Structures are given as structure tokens and as C-alpha cells.
Amino acid sequence: MRRGPAKLEKKNLKAFLQTLMERYDLFGPVRLAEGVSVYKRIDDPQEVDLSSANPQKPLKEVFFAQSEVMFRYEKAGRKTEVRSTEEVERERIVLGARPCDIAAVLLLDQVFSGKDYTDVYYAKKREKTTLIGLACNRPLSTCFCASMGGGPFVRRGSDLFWIDLGEAYLVEFLTEKGEALSQNTLLEKADASEIDLAKALEQRASEKATSSLSIEGIEKRLDEMVESPFWDRVQEKCIGCRVCTYLCPTCHCFDIVDEASRGQGQRVRNWDSCLSPLYSLETSGHNPRPTTRERTRQRLMHKFNYFPKNFGSVACVGCGRCIIYCPAHFDIRKTLEEILVP
Amino acid sequence: MFHDLGDEGLPMKNPYQPIPMVVRKAWIETSDRMLRTLELGFADKEEERSFQFIPGQFCELSVFGKGEAPFGIASAPTEQGALRFTINKAGVVTTALHQVEEGDEIGLRGPLGNGYPLEAFEGKNLLVIGGGFAFTTLRSLIVYFLHPQNRSKIGDITVLYGARMPGLLLYKEELAQWERREDLKLVVTVDQGDGNWKGKVGLVPNVLEEIAPSSNDTYAVICGPPIMIKFTFPKLMALRFPIERIYTSLERRMKCGIGKCGRCNIGHLYVCKDGPVFSYAQLEKLPRDY
Amino acid sequence: MMANAPSVGAWKSIGAESVQPFSPIRSGNPMIEQRIREKAKELLSRKDVDLVIGFGRGTLPLRATPLFARTPEEAEELIWNSFCAANLATYLHKLSRFKVGLVVKGCDSRSVVALLRERRFEPERLFLIGVPCQRMVDRRKVQRVAPGEILDAREQGDRIIVKGEDFEIHLKRDEFLYSSCQACLHRNPPKADWLASPPVEESALTEAFDEARLFEERPSEERWNFFIKETSRCIRCYACREACPMCYCSECFVDSSRPKWIGSGLDPSDLAFYHIVRAYHQTGRCAGCGACERACPMEIRLSYLTQKLNRDVKELFEFEAGLDPKDRPPLSTYEPDDWQEFIK
Amino acid sequence: MKVKDSARIDLESSWQPKILAFLCNWCSYAGADLAGTSRIQYPPNVRVIRVPCSGRVNPLFILKALQSGVDGVLVSGCHPGDCHYISGNYVGRRKSATLKRFLEYLGIEPGRVQFSWVSAAEGAKFSQVVKEVTEDVRKLGPIRRWTLQPQAQKP
């Protein structure tokens, strides 16, 4: 039996975060410039910005950094000493994560755990992290989480769940990990009216985030479309940048490179993107995906056909980032509609 | 889920961290000096004991500071003590691997990938077709089945190996030894001979047509440049090899080698993890993304 | 997200307060859209071109999206409004086998001219549908003054009316232009095979928003800090590069492995390196369209970089990119008496 | 380029400016040679990279040097009209002009990147140029604004 919901007055937020920082490394959305934010390690509670909708860079970055040292090495004579950087010292808390981003992390869990190999860099961070979800009271017009099996108040994957009540957050304890924070003295007991308000907010948000798009049968449909001329049209306006893949909460491709100078260096992994020609270019000069046609097809097929084949669900959570930030204003919802209703 | 990982008290093994290998021997294979074979010994005996592989699998070799690249294992599991790789000089990592010296330490991750379906081959005949420097894992396969312990597991072995010129053939001394064996039919051909070449001259597809091996109870394994495969495949069809019994090993740009980093997928399968060995029956069901 | 006042003076963030909004100039001809459609239909039905690249309706307010019309029916979908911001010349590189009708504003046309000068394609396979430009509206500036998410927007004369769930605001169009448009001196396409409307009156040089000049007035260290602060947000998506019609190298220096010029991660010095070179490579080639800045998902300021280069090239070599197809790109030629006071 | 590590600054107090000079093979390199053979003194802070022509200096060379921690860069070629390749130095001059102004605009201090014409006969001038550049860079101090940081920590 979990504890009932508590509440945290917004005026106490900073103090609350300060107490968390004594025991945890804290991560959350931080504003870098007007209209631009990312998830970042918090050095000062002042930085946290829970007011804006999803940050540009998704939650995945906390577990799977855009650029991450895997190990450092040093040459000693003819030998090389390798020291991995996979260990995570302190427990971590991520706050302000929206349900869609958390849904995406649950998908990434499957990729990075895997049946045969565990990606230790991802897994060790994930293990040590307590996730605080934040309800979306006002989903944007670009949000289509409901069509992807999620929703603005979906709690799956959260250890704690916060609902913005205006002057305070309602705090729900969903897992044992989450409950570990329940003793904090800044958390007060929530009264019935506050719980009712949260319910009303949930009701309103869910009405707003309706599922207008059904992707039922998409995997099968795409099976038949591999060689379709459809891709010729889909790719037309793609300029071949990496925005949609880098900002996608589920995209997880990476590159591994060495950065070195004179006998010491590091192996680094960086996000990579199937939309880059270099991604699949072989040393021989042959490229199995030579044009944006094959590359945009790969992106969509991976999300809606290959990923379902391998993991049983589509690799899209409907966060809408690719729609908002695509320089060519490619709208994946429209493309999905075109796939489903030829 | 994730929260349970590691709770069994077992430390998670880092699949990205290479183990140290010592370059025991290194030699140039071909007259163009583009192919070099490295014989690698394990620096750590414990690693050596736990390293089990089957022909057709590959490893990621690291030159620290330059990076990592995948190479098929050219030695056979029956050859104890060292691993052998033949490296085509093309990019940054392969160039560095051409420069390492005997006694140097490099990194290795593996074995990776699925390897050839040895159990399926057992009791059947085997036709091995190789072209150019794609002969590496085929060598591993042949040496494996030629081993006294394994020879009886398989019927006739026919090997057709072609290169552009005599100087570009790999493992020449070994080919000469195989030539003398009775339990192996070896046909070596070159596109263009030179003054000393006394063997066959002709393209692999044409030579295949000429030697016309029976497809009865036979598995074919074919590795080589795409152009060779393109023209040889119809000849195999003409010889009535069913696609379920034709295998190939695919090459794709790879990084992680463990099915995480993307990039090498063909359809929902990853060449690094679900391959690199595929039957044409499998490939037929996948998008032509290679 | 929400600001109380229109942030036209984009340099406010670094302390300059002197930016004045433009005095309003006539807004675009409402018949332009229809004229573009008619022309595109004519070109397509006569098979003069294989396709027409123009703008179509976006799925979000304040946005247009590139439209590739291959039939007269598809050409009916072409639109023209103040959100047709992309520089469509960037698509010419991947359509090298086709005859293309291309909708171009002043800056887009200049890019085409510069590309023709660099012999990127045969002029015969292009038909330029020129649109004298009313200058484009920066959707981010508009969003910043709106009290919530904008769900609908339309233009009415010199106004933009934007609506959200519980608001409707009327804005003066000319106060929300892209900074590159505020700086523009060539709104009429210098090269076009056909014009959708009579030429517009060009802005006077004195009126143009000179971002570079304002930046130059800051102390050196402040300039560097600003530059670094901006570029440190870079996520290396290369949208700026891909959106730019002039960035077409078959191998960009960032992608070269031999030599490896730049680290592959997010080291701020590497990010700065990338942006210095990306901009500098535009010297004498940039039409000032601002596509790089618009494409950036992290809203990194980029236009002030190329503006400076453009101004220097004009000052030193009396050259402006894309105005005259006969002019040699300034860095591929010289005059014996070029400026050299800086050389010891 | 080998400058990367040698250019690392050890201690503030013992700091000496590190200058990288790109000298054209036909004039400035010969000028430096002449300074040497004539025993004309110049500061030892300069490391020379010989290039076929000042026009060969890709702006990337200069940028990479600065990013790698070199405190100053000098590019020197033949006087106008004397280029071994007729016009290489003229074309280079345009690149230099635009690059120099651009870097200053961004906030790289003006003295960090300098240019000179030094002929094969001007050993003394070469020495003078190196002295001036070294002193300018010394006044500016170690390059701080734009050098590689240790890899950003993982989040």
C-alpha cells in the first residue's frame, strides 16, 4: 500500500530541491535562452524551469548523453591501460519529465538492456535514477501522445508524479523508490479539494489530448510499402539535417569514435542519425542508403515497423518535437495518415 | 525491468570495453600490399579460456586513438592460441592496423555475430565460393571442417576461390597445401593471369558454371564483392541450389557490434547481431537495403 | 516562453537598445498567390518543367512548407504569404536530373545566381518564378508575445491576427520580421524568368537593420562571450548547413576523417570552430536569406555572422553575392590594389 | 599538425608565447633562412611550417592552430607582384583580409593572427616581424578565449 498523495507548495520548491541535492544528483529542465531548454544536471535549484512544455532535447539525454566518454585510455609502452567511465556514484533524481518522454525511456530500456548485451552506460544511470513525472495540464496542439498509447497524465514509468495545481504541486508516490522521498518535511498532506482539483485537471487535459489518429495496423501496412513510390514523395522536402532524430525521445542511434592526442585519449559515443549520409556510408564508398529516400524510409520504418517487430510497440510517443522543429515543416502525423489511408 | 538489473549480485559486463591482444605476427598477404594478416594472442589467459567462437563470427579491433572496426575471424576455432584477421587497408582504423608492429597491444571485442550454421551443414556437402579479400571467414570455415575431428561431420567440400590477379590471392601457401589434399576439391581462378600463373583464368561465375558442382544435399556459402555475387547467384540458381541452402556473410558499416547503435540494420534485423551470416531465404524477406 | 513586449530589438539580450522597427512599407499583393498558381500550372501543363517547387500550407499556424508540384492539380495547392520563409534553392542540389520551376524571393534568387556562378547546374533546367518579397514574419517572435500556444493565425493587410485557446491578438506585421528580412536590401529577385508582381520599393540602406554594426559596437570580450554562449547550445544537427543552398560540399570539413579537423562531441571550442568555419565558408557567397538561423532548433543566432562577412565583402571588394551572374566570387579572384593595410 | 601538444601552456609564470608561422617556400621561408645564416637574432617563440605559397594557407590551418592553443599565428608570403605562382599571394590576401576581420569581429584579439610580406632578401625584416608579433602576443597573454576544454562531463 503506497502512501496517499502529498503536496509541495511552489514557494517551497527550491528548498525542497536543495534538500534533495544533499543526497542525490539532481537533473531537470533548464532554460538556456528564451524558448530553449534542455535537461541538465542542476547545480543550483534556481535553474530549474518547470514552466515550459517539453525541453528541446528530450529526457533520453539524462541516460544517454549526446556525447559521452565510454572509457579513457593511456598508452604505457606497448600496452594500453583502459579505464571505463560507466560507474555512477550517487543516486539521481530527474524531475519535470513529461509522460511522453518517460514512455520513450521505457522503450529505450528495452533497447539498451537487450537479451544478450546490457549497455552499462545507460543501465547504470537508469538504475540509480528516481523519475519524477510531471503531468501536462495543457497539452500542445502538436502533442499526439494519446494516439501512441500515452496521455498527458499517464504515470507509467514514473516513481513520483507531480501535478501542477497552480500554487502547489500534488505529489503522488508510485513506487518504492518514489516513496523514499515521502519523509521530506516540506511535503504536506494533500487535502481532498486538492486531489479533486488534480482530477479535474486530468479530466480536462485528457479531453484536450484526444487520439485523432489511429495507427492500428501500421506495421502490416508498412510491410507492403517497402518499395512503394510513396517514399519518393515523403522524402522530397527533407533537407537531410538531424533535428527530428536528435530531438526524438526514442531515437537512440550512436556513433563511437576515438578522441586522442599523443598516447592518451578517450573513446566517445555521440548521437548519430539515420538521416546523415555518413551514417551508413561504408569505407569502400558504397552506401546502402544513398539518398534521402532510403534514409527517410529508414527513419519511419524503424519507428513503425522494425521496432514493433523487435519490441512489440511503435517507437514514437507523440511528443511532437519533430513537427515543431523540422526546418522543412515535415509533419509525421500527416505522413502516418497517408500511410494508413492510401 | 531495469530496476532489477544487477540485483542478482552479478556485475554487469561492459560490452564496449575491449580486451587487450598482443600482435604475435603480422605479414602482408598480397602484391598490392593492401591486405595484411595479423595474428593476435591473448594478453590475459582468463580471456583466452572464455573466448569461444564459431567460423563466420567477427570481432571489433581497436587501435586506441584511431578507433574501432569489425573484421571477420580468419582463423578457425580448431587453431588454438591465437586469432587471425586479414585487414584490407581502406580507412583510418585499417591503416593503423597496417602500421601496428609485432609485440604491440591492440584491443578486441568479440566474438560477435551469429557465424555459419555449422549444425545445418553437418552430414551435407559444402560448396564454398569466395572472391577477393572476402575469403577470411571462409578460410575459418574450411579449416574448421578440414580438422581431423570435424572432417567426418561433413561430405564433399568444394572450394571455388577467385581473385582479380594471382598476387591478390590470400593465404597462398595454404591454398597450395589444400591443392594436394584429397578430401577437398579446390578450384582457384584469377580474372587475369600473369607470367607465372599456371592455374585457371576466368571469372568466378563462369568457372562455377564450368565445374558445375551438384546441388544434391549441398549447402553453398558465398562471400565476395557485390558484383561477383550478383553474377554468381543466377548460376547457383541454374544449378538448382534452393535459396534456403545458400548462405552469405554481409558487410555493413558497424559500430557497436551488439545491435544497439543502429546503422547496420536490414529491415528489423541487425547485421552485427542477427548476422552477419544470412541465408538467401532470409534475405529475400528483407528490404533490399544493402 | 511569454514576454510582455515585442522583442524586435533582438540585440536587447546583449544590451543594445537602439534598434528601431521598420516604417511600414506596402504589404504584398494579394493576387500573388493566384498568379504563382497560374504560372505553375502553365509550366507544368506545357511540360516546360518536371516540377514546380513552391510553398504549401503548413499543418501549424505561422508556417508554410515546401511543396513539390508535379501536376497542374498539385499546383493548386501553392500558397504565398508572410511565412514562406525557406530558401527553396537548397532543393536544387538533389533534383539535378529535373527541369525545375522554382519560386524565389529576392534572397532565394540571389542564391540561385551564386550557385549558377559556381556552375552547380545548367541554367536551362531552371525556371525562376520570382516574387518581389514583402519580407517574412518570424514565427518565434510572434509566439513570444502571445500569452499561450498559437492555434490560428492569418494576415490582414499589415496586421497579423493570432488566436489561441483564450486569446486573440492583433500585431503589426512589420514589427515581427526576421532579422535577416529587416536587413534586406534586395527584396526583388535580381534574376527571374517571370515576376508574380511588380517590383517592390527596396529599403533604403539607412533604414536596414544592421545587426553586424550593432554587434561590432560591443567590446571584444563581450562579443566572444556572446558568440560562445550562442554556439554552446549547438547540438550539431547541421540544420543550418543543410538549410543553406550554398552548403553543398560533398564532404563538409566537420565530416572529414583524414584530416580530422574537429572533435566529434559537444566541446564548446569545437562548436565554435564549426560555426566559425560554416559562416566563413560563405564569404562572398551568402545571399543573407537567414535560412541557417531559421533552421536552428536551438535558436542560435547566426545571421549576424554572415552579415558581417557580407558587409566586409561589399566594403573591401564592392561585391554582393548573387546580384550579377557574371561577377566572379570575390575569394576566387583579386585586384592588384586590394586592401592590405593589415599586412606588415 | 604537431602544434597541439607543444602549445599547451604549462604555468602562467613561465609562460612564453607560442607562435605558429606559415611561411611561403619561395620568399618568407628563404627570408627566415637568410636571417638565420646572417645570424640575425629573433625570438625563439616561433614554430615554422613551410607552405608552397601564402595562398595555400587554408583558413582552417589558422583556426585549428588557435583552437589547439597556439597563442598567435603569422602568415607570411612574397610581396605583391613577386608570387612564384603569379597570383597566389593576391588571392591569399583576400582570404586573409576577410578572415582577420571576421575573427576580430567574433572577439578574437586583433594581434592573434597577423600577416606579412617578407622576401628572400629580407632577413632583417623577417626578424623584425617575428619580434613584433611575439611582443604583440606577449601583451595579449595566453590564448584563453578559444581552446579545447576537457570533454564535457556526462550528465
Largest CA-CA distance found in chain A, in angstroms, rounded: 71
Chains D and B touch (3+ CB pairs under 8 A): no
A217: left (phi over 0), alpha (psi -120 to 50) or beta: left
Q: Test A262 with D155 for CB contact under 8 angstroms.
A: no
Q: Enter the pTM of the model.
A: 0.91
Pick B29 or C2 by higher pLDDT. Answer: B29
Q: For residues A274 and B117, what is the distance between their CA atoms, to the nearest angstrom?
A: 31
Q: How confident is the model at residue A113 (pLDDT cuts 50, 70, 90)?
A: confident
Phi/psi of residue A315, each to 5°? -100, 55
Q: Give me chain B's average pLDDT, please.
A: 91
Taking contacts as CB-CB distances below 8 angstroms, the residues of chain B near C258 are 92
Q: For residues B83 and B74, what is the distance between their CA atoms, to the nearest angstrom?
A: 8
pLDDT above 60 for B2: no
At residue C22, the pLDDT reads: 33
From the number of C-beta atoms within 10 Å of its C-beta (0-12, 13-18, 19+), residue A316 rates as buried
Name every residue whose Cβ is closer than 8 Å to that of residue C202 and which is 6 or more positions away in sequence.
Answer: C185, C186, C187, C188
Q: Test A239 with C242 for CB contact under 8 angstroms.
A: yes
Q: How far is B261 from chain A (nearest CA, A)?
A: 5
Q: CB of A29 within 8 A of CB of A101? A: no
In C, minimum Cα distance to A293 occurs at C94
At residue C225, the pLDDT reads: 93
Which chains pack against A, by 3+ Cβ pairs within 8 A? Answer: B, C, D
pLDDT above 80 for A210: no
Note if the bond before B276 is cis, omega within 30 degrees: yes
Closest alpha carbon to C68 in C178, C86, C110: C86
User: Over the stretch B151-162, which tens digit does the pLDDT of each residue have?
Assistant: 999 999 999 999
Name every residue whose Cβ is closer than 8 Å to that of residue A192 and which is 6 or more positions away in sequence.
Answer: none
pLDDT above 70 for A220: yes
Closest alpha carbon to B159 in A82, B181, B173, B168: B181
In C, minimum Cα distance to B93 occurs at C257
User: Over the stretch A61-104, which tens digit does the pLDDT of each residue have?
Assistant: 999 999 999 999 988 887 888 888 888 889 999 999 999 999 99
Q: Test D106 with C224 for CB contact under 8 angstroms.
A: yes
Q: Which CATH number fits domain D17-140: 3.10.260, 1.10.3470, 3.40.50, 3.30.420?
A: 3.40.50
Closest alpha carbon to B76 in B8, B179, B145, B11: B145
C64-69, strands of its sheet edge to edge: C64-69, C51-57, C100-104, C126-130, C194-195
Type of residue found at B79: E
At residue C210, the pLDDT reads: 86
Closest alpha carbon to B258 in A105, A256, A314: A256
SS (H, E, C) C28-66: CCCCHHHHHHHHHHHHHHCCCCCEEEEEEECCCCCCEEE
Q: CB of D142 within 8 A of CB of D58? A: no
Burial D90-129 (b: 16+ CB within 10 A, else e): bbbbbbbbbbbbbbbbbbbbebbbbbbbbbbebbebbbbb
Type of residue found at C232: S
Q: How confident is the model at residue A262 (pLDDT cuts 50, 70, 90)?
A: low
Pick B289 or B14 by higher pLDDT. Answer: B14
Strand ranges for chain C from DSSP E:
51-57, 64-69, 100-104, 126-130, 152-156, 159-164, 167-172, 194-195
User: Over the stretch D10-45, which tens digit does the pLDDT of each residue have?
Assistant: 445 688 999 999 999 999 999 999 999 999 999 999
Q: For residues B141 and B144, what is the distance between their CA atoms, to the nearest angstrom?
A: 5
Name every residue whose Cβ is closer than 8 Å to that of residue B47 and which is 6 or more positions away in sequence.
Answer: B19
**Over its length of 344 residues, how does chain C's per-residue pLDDT go in tens digits?**
333 333 333 333 333 333 333 333 333 456 899 999 999 999 999 999 999 999 999 999 999 999 999 999 999 999 999 999 999 999 999 898 899 999 999 999 999 999 999 999 889 999 999 999 999 999 999 999 999 999 999 898 889 999 999 999 999 999 999 999 999 999 999 999 999 999 999 988 777 888 899 999 999 999 999 999 999 999 999 999 999 999 999 999 999 988 999 998 999 999 999 999 999 999 999 999 999 999 999 999 999 999 999 999 999 999 999 999 888 999 999 999 999 999 99
User: Over the stretch A265-316, which tens digit does the pLDDT of each residue have?
Assistant: 899 999 999 999 999 988 888 888 999 999 999 999 999 999 999 999 999 9
Interchain CB contact of B103 with A (< 8 Å): yes
User: Over the stretch D84-129, which tens digit does the pLDDT of each residue have?
Assistant: 999 999 999 999 999 999 999 999 999 999 999 999 999 999 999 9
Interchain CB contact of C257 with B (< 8 Å): yes
Type of residue found at C47: K
At residue D152, the pLDDT reads: 41
Taking contacts as CB-CB distances below 8 angstroms, the residues of chain C near B66 are none
pLDDT above 50 for D8: no
Written as nine digits, the cell of C166 is: 483564450
Closest alpha carbon to B59 in B116, B19, B14: B19
Q: Is A68 helix (H, G, I), strand (E, B) or coil?
A: strand
At residue C6, the pLDDT reads: 34
Q: Test A27 with D155 for CB contact under 8 angstroms.
A: yes
pLDDT above 80 for A233: yes
Q: CB of D6 within 8 A of CB of D47? A: yes
Q: Establish, for the pair of chains A and C, how many residue pairs have beta carbons separated by less than 8 Å.
A: 118
> What domains are there in chain B, each with its CATH number?
14-111 (2.40.30.10), 118-246 (3.40.50.80), 250-290 (2.10.240)
At residue C30, the pLDDT reads: 63
What are the CA-CA distances from residue A319 to residues A142, A151, A328, C143, C271 (Å)?
7, 10, 18, 19, 27
User: Over the stretch B211-237, which tens digit does the pLDDT of each residue have?
Assistant: 999 999 999 999 998 889 989 999 999
- Identity of the residue in D100, D106, D132 whose CB atom sits nearest the CB atom of C227: D106
Interchain CB contact of C55 with D (< 8 Å): no
Q: Report the complex ipTM.
A: 0.91
Mean pLDDT computed over A174-178? 94
Q: Test A288 with B107 for CB contact under 8 angstroms.
A: no
From the number of C-beta atoms within 10 Å of its C-beta (0-12, 13-18, 19+), residue A334 rates as middle
Q: CB of A281 within 8 A of CB of B253? A: yes
**Which of C235, C269, C301 best probes binding to D when mutated, by most D CB atoms within 10 angstroms?**
C269
Taking contacts as CB-CB distances below 8 angstroms, the residues of chain B near A272 are 255, 261-263
At residue A52, the pLDDT reads: 81
Q: Establish, for the pair of chains A and B, how many residue pairs have beta carbons separated by less than 8 Å.
A: 146
Interchain CB contact of A268 with D (< 8 Å): yes
Q: Domain spans of chain D?
A: 17-140
Residue percentage of chain A with pLDDT more than 90: 81
Chains C and D touch (3+ CB pairs under 8 A): yes
Which chains pack against B, by 3+ Cβ pairs within 8 A? Answer: A, C
Q: For residues B221 and B277, what is the distance between their CA atoms, to the nearest angstrom?
A: 9
